[in-house]
Amino acid sequence: MTPWRLILSKALPGADNMALDEALLLERKPGDPPILRFYQWEDDTLSLGRFQKAAEVFAATSGDFPAVRRISSGGAILHRHDEITYGLIAPYKDFGGRSPRLAYNDIHDILTRALDALGVRAQKRSESLGDESAPFCYDRLTDFDLTAGADFKKLIGSAQHRRGRAFLQHGSIPMTDDGQVERGTSIERLLGRTVSREDVIRAIIEAFKTEKGISFEESDANDREVNRAAELKQSRYGLEAWTLER
């Protein structure tokens, strides 16, 4: 079986992160192996869901943060420099068929296994809770969101964008409580101790290997992907008009 690609990105500005995520999806050809990417944010950055109204999000934000609009839907997230963000680019056939919900569910099952290996007992919600109109992702609990702790606080928020028979799913994994909203939690709070980024990433990689029976080959984005990302930043993610589009 062809190894999946593993990309470990350095910390980047929000526009660069979102441009590269989409570039990896757009440059994917049928038959290409899935890509699992882990990345950080150069600065604390607010990401808006594709269809959110910027004014409503900014009105609910305390603090002045750089902002970027995602290609995926869902609520806004204040990404902190110490969080782990994952991005997965894959065909739906590798994740339960052609249903976005099945893929979302399958990926969160794998993340649940990884968290369990770290000592975090996470579970998916089977129903929506909280205010679904709330501007921030961590103020909502929707189907398949991963919660943890006796109070069922949200730990991992993910969002997906479909392109034909493939998709991009990316999500936020808070390492500490810094900047988290009331309904959110973190790895550190749940375990009562600090865990390294490397340990969390390693656990997720191992869970994918076990659940999917695959191996990984570490690589960087290739020239084609880097060039497409630069184009997307110039024409979309780096523009205030894109961020404030709605």
Q: Give the H/E segment covering residue 129.
A: strand 129-130
Q: How many CB atoms lie within 10 A of CB 142?
A: 18
| Options 26, 54, 68, 137, the catalytic residue | 137
Greatest extent of the chain over all pairs of C-alpha atoms, in Å: 49
Task: Give the separation between CA 31 and CA 100, rounded to whole angstroms.
Answer: 19
Who contacts 135 (Cβ-Cβ below 8 Å, separation ≥6)? 52, 56, 57, 60, 75, 76
Distance (Å, whole) CA 128 – CA 112: 19
Known catalytic membership, residue 113 = no
Active site residues: 137
